[in-house]
Every structure is written in structure tokens, then in C-alpha cells.
Amino acid sequence: MFKKIDHVEIVTDQLDRTIEFYTEVLEFKIKLRDRIERSSLGVPMDLVYLDLGGTVVELISYEGAAVEPAPQQEHLGYRMMALEVEDMQKTVEYLQTKGIDIVWGRESARRSRERRSATPTATTLN
């Protein structure tokens, strides 16, 4: 019945900067761009589909409509996206050269250390 997650949608108010982060830092590839002249909010909506190893992130940007920022406190719903990497230390060093802050996970019985990198949303891109 269900096979895999087809895509994840992320709404941004900084489309170009978000595309730059995903393509130039995280090495996603632009799969498709589209524009809907009248979205459900009554304004134009730009869509950009980014691919990384078969996982697709759909970036959505509304032109001329205010969209609430992501919550800063723990909340129900989307929390993060985790990417599998070949070498964690090299990845951490690479992300640091790009000015990306690293968020450290809890100690666990299975691993001595688990590292996660924060992905940008409209509110975390500087």
C-alpha cells in the first residue's frame, strides 16, 4: 500500500536564500520549478522541488501574503529533518565553514554521540 514519503513541504519567505542553502550547502538538486498564479491564499505561489537521493523537499513561497513564522518553542507538528551522511566529523566541519550552527543531540546507549545539523526555515536563515 504505502511505499515511501514522496515529499516534504517547507514554506519560506526567503525563497532564493532557502534554495541557495539546500543546493549549495546541502547539495540538493533542483528538480522542478513552478508558479501558481492564484493560490489558496489568493496570491501567487512559487514552488521549487529539490531532490537529494530520491527524497524531495518542496519549497513554497507566497508572494504578497503574510505567513506565520515557525514556532520557537517545542510544539506539535513538524520538528526537524535529519540527513544521513557518510562521515559525521567531516560533515560538521564542512557545515561550520558555511556558518551553520550545529545542534547536539542527547547521549544514548547505542551511540556515544549523535549530531544533528539545523536546517533553515524562513526564521533561521541569517
Could you read off the pLDDT of 74-124 as tens digits, one per residue? 888 877 778 888 888 898 899 999 988 777 654 332 343 333 444 454 444
Share of residues in the chain with pLDDT > 90 (%): 46
| E strands in 54-125 | 55-62, 102-104, 115-117
From residue 44, alpha-carbon distances to 9, 12, 40, 48, 99 in Å are: 17, 14, 9, 13, 32
pLDDT of residue 121: 46
Distance CA 126, CA 122 (A): 9
The superfamily (CATH) of domain 7-64+83-117 is 2,3-Dihydroxybiphenyl 1,2-Dioxygenase, domain 1 (3.10.180.10)
Distance CA 25, CA 98 (A): 7
This prediction's pTM: 0.74
Domain coordinates in residue numbering, the chain: 7-64+83-117
Task: Give me the chain's average pLDDT, please.
Answer: 81
